[in-house]
Structures are given as C-alpha cells and as structure tokens.
C-alpha cells in the first residue's frame, strides 16, 4: 500500500499544480477521524480556496473530477466523497489495501525502513558517573536512547551510540575517600564518617553497601575489567590513587553488567578527563576569550551567554581556578562537531534543563560553524517504582535509590524497556512492578507479545511454508476487520518516520498496542484455519504480515517477540 499511497499522492500533487502552480506542495493525506468516512482524506481544497478566491466546496468538486480522471485514482480508489466545507474523503478498493500484506511479506524485517541516507548522527545517553549503580532514571535514559537510535536507523541514518562519563573531579574523589574509609573498617554513622551539612563534599559521601563490596575486593587485590579499562588493586589502604582507579573500574564493570542485562552496547565511551589532557578545554576557553565573548568580574571568568538568549551570564572559571561543569560540555560538543556528527541528540534528566542554554551559547560564541539549536535534547523525568501497592524508594545495595538491576530482576528486560518507553519522556511515570509481571491484557508488553505468539501458534498449527504466503491470492480479505488490520499495517512506515522526527519512541508503543488490539479483534471475528484453501491462505498471509510488523516494532524498542508464551 506504500506504492499505492505514493501513486495517489503524485496524482493529487499533479491535480493541485493544474489548479495553481506551486500548489502541489500542499498535497498530503490524513486519516479520517471516523472510519466510515473513508480510508484517506485531504483538505487541499479548503487550503486553496482562499488564494484562488473560489468556494471551497466547488473547488473540491473540480479537484475530485481531476482526480477521477487520473490513472492512479481509477486503479486504486473506489469512491471520492466531499464532506462539510470541502473535505475530500477517499475510499480505497480492497486491492489497494491488500497490497500492504504483500509488501510486508516481501520486505520482512526491512518493512518500514528507509535506505541509507549517508548521514551520521551521535546519540549520547546514560552517561552515568562511575560513582554507583545505575538507577531507574538511567534505565529510562537507556531505553529512550537505544530506541531513538533504532528509530533513526530505520530512517537511513548511521547512528553512533556514545556514553560520556566523568572519571575525575570531586565526585570521584569522594568515591575514593568513601571506599578508603570502608577499607579501614569504618562505616556510615561512625564518628569519623563525614556528616558536616555545610560541607558539600561530605553530603555526597556514598553510603550504600556496594561501597563495602568495592573495599573488600580492593583489600583482596582483585582485578576488575570494564569495557574501557582494567585495573588491579594494590590492597594498600593508604594508596588513595589505587583505591580511586580500582573503584572507578569496579563501578564501570558493574554498569557494564547492567547494560548487558539490558541488551545495550555503546560504540564509544568518552572520558571527560580526555578533554583536559588533550587540551580541548583550554583551547575552547582561549577561543571564547579571543572572540571577545568573555569578561572577568569578582576574580572569575564569565561567558556573555545573555548575547545568545540565556537569562544571565555564566561563570566559566571560578575564583579558585577550576572550571564550572558546562565548560567541558562545550568543549565536548565542539569535539562531536569536529568528528563529523552534524546531528547530535543528548538524552538527559530534566535536572539538566538549565545547561541547554549555556552549552548552546558557548557553542555559538566559539564561532566554529555549529548551527543554532545544536545539539538536540530529550529530557526525561525520574521514575517512581511501586511494588505491592507501595512506593519503593531505597535499594539496600545502592543505599538511597532503586537500581536498574533491581527492576530487571523483579520483572524482565522486555518489561522494563516497554514500560519506560510507554509515556512521553517529560511526563511523570510510575513503574508498577506487579503489573509488569502480570500475564493479562492489562500488562501492555504482555498484550503485544501475546498477539505475536498467538499468530506464531496459528502458523505452527497450519504447518506450511510461511515464505509462500507472499504469493497467495488476497482477494478473500474483504471483511471490515481485515480492512482495518491492513490499513493499520500500512500506517507503520509513516508512524516510524514521525516518531523519529519528533524524538518520540513512545509513539511506537502506542502503535503496537493498537495493532495488537486490532489483531485480537480480527482473530475473534474470523476463523483463520478454515477448510476453504484460498480463504485460509489469504488470512494466513494477513496474520503473518501482522506478526512481522509486530516483530519490527518491538525490535525498535529493543523488546523480544516470543513465539510461545
């Protein structure tokens, strides 16, 4: 049906051009809000009526006459109806709708995808500092980032997954000191444990049981290996540098285990420290100074970020000589641009909202050719976890939050991914653990996966060669339920394109739930394995195509499509 829709759109574009040169750009179809009104609709007549100074309904009549005369509309359209002030509703012939079944079965896993467009993009996500286990907020980032990468891959982009983390600074020093105290036999609550509320560093001390695990392995002189580093502990509790490096490697390995359980792999880990050792931070600051975009006041160096829409100028270098956290961010994004990534998306928590304006201001002030609005951001809220009807706030392992590993162990990788993608990123979300393990229609991931497994069961009962279904006669697919299912299958490619453009992987979850519901309705309305061979094969082809689209959509989300449940 993609081919059908393309042919119809070309015919509409030509008809509009005949009415007014340049009007072909207005050619577009939408779905009628009421199914009985038709399969496609266009508002082009109402849009053109005013500039042409014609009655919109009369213009619609003229447009319909032109469309009926076209080969595409003659071949694929059963009826053209005018409604209201000039809506044109289009009812397709059954053969037009049946085309989608053949398209899906021929294209299989590539159905809905676009060819390689030759463009590269970078998506940075998770980017957790190696100071503790990944929490459920990191899990939401992981699900969002991976799904957005998969979405853009379907649109022909070459996608690079990147994890940026801070391997130096105050937080890492606090991690080392916390581990050293545990290695020396102290624990939170002891007199020596930092508790000064006026000291920001002490408030950040890490109290979870995982710190004791790190300390025990350090004393045992163990070797830990992460994706990007390997380190062997010295076992000397006075060797704070060895403790620091061991703790970072240990937690990077822990994060790797979590990400592997989530079936997520990054193309590159980018170290913040490399921005300093390579001289990128100093070069960026020098460039901003040379461009006249900074000033000194109260012993600090400031960026004139208000010149670029920020609500106030920002400190770049503090009185103590240290840079504020957005300065390496600017250097990092210049590096992304210089590495050839003209499109970049950052997945971050809503607490990073304030950094957007200052990072973009720094990039514009650097004047290195980066366009305004670079990079794109997807901000997400944190996640509440409910189990047994009560909110879970603390993980014994982490000390103060529920970890991603907790969530996966309580439910499954598939449930965590689907649930965390089932709402817009910037909306509050409550993860119901009990619902995520329920085997009923209230559980959305179960509902979608069950639809796929149900189709696989039907195909297994048939026992034939599914590859032959792409060639069968589809004429028997003439019921309202079959037509509804085929129309929904045809919407999948456009849904993918829109979801990528809007950075909205939740649209895929909505679509899959709708498709599963449509299939269940079809299954309840029509028996598939009937005696009539032609009818049986046509219906098998339709459900096989439905299973394929369910698989394709679930793959975008990083969720499996089981054959049995």
Cα distances from 320 to residues 101, 295, 317, 324, in angstroms, run 67, 16, 8, 11
Continuous H helices in 349-443: 353-366, 404-410, 413-420, 433-437
Domain identity same for 294 and 390: no
Contact 149, 499 (CB under 8 A): no
In a domain, 48, yes or no: yes
DSSP 102-116: HHHHHHGGGTTPPPP
What pLDDT digit, counting tens, does each position of 531-554 carry? 999 999 999 999 999 999 999 999
What total of structural domains would you count in the chain? Answer: 4
Closest CA to 178 of 204, 216, 217: 204
In a domain, 328, yes or no: yes
What pLDDT digit, counting tens, does each position of 480-522 carry? 999 999 999 999 999 999 999 999 999 999 999 999 999 999 9
Residues 6+ apart with CB under 8 A from 283: 331
pLDDT of residue 338: 97
Domain identity same for 416 and 430: yes
In this prediction the pTM is 0.90
Structure tokens of 300? 């600090």
What pLDDT digit, counting tens, does each position of 87-128 carry? 999 999 999 999 999 999 999 999 999 999 999 999 999 999
Residue numbers of the domain that contains 49? 2-92
In a domain, 463, yes or no: yes
In a domain, 208, yes or no: no
Closest CA to 208 of 24, 402, 410: 402
Domain identity same for 375 and 476: no
Closest CA to 205 of 405, 403, 399, 402: 399
Alpha carbons 393 and 135: distance in angstroms, whole number:
11
Domain identity same for 284 and 328: yes
Q: Could you give the 3-state DSSP secondary structure of residue 322?
A: coil
What pLDDT digit, counting tens, does each position of 28-75 carry? 999 888 878 889 999 999 998 888 888 999 999 999 999 999 999 999
Structure tokens of 549? 């689209």
Continuous H helices in 307-394: 326-338, 353-366
In a domain, 130, yes or no: no
In a domain, 227, yes or no: no
Continuous H helices in 155-297: 170-183, 200-203, 209-219, 240-261, 272-277, 280-290
Contact 404, 138 (CB under 8 A): yes
Instruction: Choose one of 29, 58, 92: the last residue of a domain.
Output: 92
Domain identity same for 331 and 299: yes
């Amino acid at each position: 049906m993609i081919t059908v829709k393309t042919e119809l759109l070309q015919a509409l574009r030509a008809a509009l051009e005949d009415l007014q040169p340049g009007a072909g750009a207005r050619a577009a179809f939408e779905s009628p809000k009421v199914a009985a009104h038709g399969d496609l609709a266009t508002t082009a007549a109402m849009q053109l009526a005013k500039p042409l100074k014609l009655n919109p309904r009369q213009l619609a009549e003229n447009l319909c006459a032109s469309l009926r005369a076209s080969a595409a509309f003659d071949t694929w359209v059963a009826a053209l109806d005018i409604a209201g002030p000039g809506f044109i509703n289009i009812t397709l012939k059954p053969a037009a709708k049946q085309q989608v079944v053949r398209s899906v079965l021929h294209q299989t896993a590539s159905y809905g995808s676009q060819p390689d467009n030759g463009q590269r993009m970078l998506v940075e996500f998770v980017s957790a500092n190696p100071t503790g286990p990944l929490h459920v907020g990191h899990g939401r980032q992981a699900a969002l980032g991976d799904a957005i990468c998969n979405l853009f891959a379907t649109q022909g982009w070459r996608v690079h997954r990147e994890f940026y983390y801070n391997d130096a600074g105050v937080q890492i020093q606090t991690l080392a000191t916390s581990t050293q105290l545990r290695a020396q036999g102290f624990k939170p609550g002891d007199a020596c444990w930092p508790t000064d509320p006026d000291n920001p560093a002490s408030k950040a001390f890490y109290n979870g049981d995982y710190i004791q695990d790190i300390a025990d392995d350090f004393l045992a002189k163990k070797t830990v290996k992460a994706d990007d580093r390997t380190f062997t502990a010295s076992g000397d509790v006075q060797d704070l540098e060895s403790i620091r490096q061991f703790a970072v490697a240990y937690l990077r390995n822990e994060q790797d285990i979590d990400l592997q359980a989530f079936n997520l792999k990054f193309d590159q880990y980018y170290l913040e420290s490399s921005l300093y050792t390579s001289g990128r931070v100093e070069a960026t600051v020098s460039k901003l100074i040379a461009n006249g975009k900074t000033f000194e006041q109260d012993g600090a160096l400031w960026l004139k970020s208000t010149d670029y829409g920020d609500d106030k100028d920002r400190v770049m270098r503090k009185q103590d000589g240290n840079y504020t956290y957005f300065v390496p961010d600017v250097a990092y994004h210049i590096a992304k641009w210089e590495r050839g990534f003209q499109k970049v998306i950052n997945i971050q928590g809503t607490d990073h909202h304030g950094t957007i304006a200052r990072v973009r201001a720094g990039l514009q002030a650097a004047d290195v050719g980066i366009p305004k609005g670079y990079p794109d951001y997807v901000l997400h809220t944190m996640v509440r976890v409910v189990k047994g009807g009560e909110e879970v706030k603390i993980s014994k392992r982490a000390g103060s939050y529920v970890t991603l590993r907790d969530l996966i162990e309580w439910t499954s990788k598939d449930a965590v991914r689907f649930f965390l993608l089932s709402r817009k990123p910037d909306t509050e979300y409550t993860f119901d653990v009990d619902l995520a393990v329920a085997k009923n229609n209230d559980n959305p991931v179960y509902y979608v996966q069950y639809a796929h497994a149900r189709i696989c069961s039907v195909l297994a009962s048939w026992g034939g060669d599914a590859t032959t279904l792409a060639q069968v006669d589809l004429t028997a697919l003439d019921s309202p339920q079959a037509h509804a299912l085929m129309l929904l299958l045809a919407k999948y490619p456009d849904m993918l394109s829109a979801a990528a453009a809007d950075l909205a992987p939740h649209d895929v979850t909505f679509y899959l739930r709708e498709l599963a519901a449509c299939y269940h309705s079809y299954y309840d309305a029509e028996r598939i394995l009937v005696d009539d061979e032609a009818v049986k094969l046509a219906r098998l082809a339709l459900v096989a195509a439905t299973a394929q689209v369910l698989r394709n959509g679930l793959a975008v989300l990083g969720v499996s499509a089981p054959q049995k449940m």
